[in-house]
Amino acid sequence: NLPDSVEDPEFENRIKVFNNYRQFGSMYAAKGNNKKAEWAYGNGIKQTEQTAGTSLQQILIIKQTGLEFRLNRARCLHSLGRRDECKEEISLILSLHPENTDALSLQNSLEL
């Protein structure tokens, strides 16, 4: 059983890393450079996968951030025409969060 929250300076640093990848991805996507945006979001996913939470709050942040990065990466893959990888990413998102309307919408756009 994990506590609801803990004071953890290491996790605060991890959040800064997540935010850096989020900002890089957003910046590159805004400039239309989906290849670099996809790279940033992919690295953000790796960071979330390598982070173990020590409280329920941390685990929730890690899961939400991972889903956000996966969805943004899927959008980049879609823009790059990498349909199979996009479908894989959407499948992962929906296995974790079956009701994710953004992922469902992206999935529907691939089927058109």
Q: What is the band of 100 on the pLDDT scale with cuts at 50, 70, 90?
A: very high
User: What's the average model confidence in pLDDT over 25-47?
Assistant: 98
Which amino acid, residue 35? K
The model carries a pTM of: 0.94
Share of residues in the chain with pLDDT > 90 (%): 97
Mean pLDDT over the full length of the chain = 96
Q: Which residue has the higher pLDDT, 112 or 18?
A: 18
Residues contacting residue 38 through CB under 8 Å, at least 6 positions apart: 73, 76, 77, 80
